[in-house]
Amino acid sequence: MARMHTRKRGKSGSRRISMAERPSWIQLSDDEIKEEVVKLKKEGMSTSVIGVKLRDQYTVPGVRPVLHEKMTKVLEENGVKDEVPEDLQFLIKRYKNVSKHLLLNKKDISNKRGKELIMAKILRLVRYYKRTGRLSKDWSLNRVLSTTHD
């Protein structure tokens, strides 16, 4: 499949292992894994960092293959849900960084284009998340970007 804003195809990513049954080397029970996920989220970690920590420290290859449900679903059940999804948060952060860079470097044409492409991705994700109910219908991107100078 081609990339979003270029004609290049690139290499495919890694594939997750599929587990029919639980591996014997996982030492934590399902409830302990869920408790650990909630505890790490309450400490302020993002879901991707939680996954890396579970993999490296607790030998859990992935929350979804082991528990057969997504980490965000586990967090929702325990009332520790992010207001804005993680991928959208990181795109907004990237947009703010590029905007800050462009304030100092007015003639950086390639980054102006990059800023437009990042905004296109943000708007596409916002539309998707509003349609699926992950963001409320009255959620506004302007409130989030109000600290950015254009």
Q: Is 118 exposed, middle or buried (0-12, 13-18, 19+ CB in 10 A)?
A: buried
Question: Cβ neighbours of residue 49 under 8 Å, at least 6 residues apart?
Answer: 40
Mean pLDDT over each residue of the chain, to the nearest integer:
88
Domain residue extents for the chain: 30-77, 86-145
d(C-alpha 123, C-alpha 27), whole Å: 42
Residue that wins the pLDDT comparison between 51 and 5:
51
* pLDDT computed for residue 93 by the predictor: 95
* pLDDT computed for residue 98 by the predictor: 96
**pTM of the model as a whole:** 0.78
Tens of pLDDT, residue by residue over 120-138, are: 999 999 999 999 999 999 9
DSSP, res 84: S
The answer to whether 26 and 66 have CB atoms below 8 angstroms apart is yes
Residue at token pair 């102006």: 112
Residue at token pair 């591996």: 23
d(C-alpha 87, C-alpha 92), whole Å: 9
86-145 has which CATH code?
1.10.287.10
pLDDT exceeds 70 at position 2: no
Tens of pLDDT, residue by residue over 29-62, are: 999 999 999 999 999 999 999 999 999 999 898 8
Task: Please report, in angstroms and rounded to a whole number, the separation of the first and last CA atoms in the chain.
Answer: 33
Lowest mean pLDDT among 31-35, 103-107, 138-142: 138-142
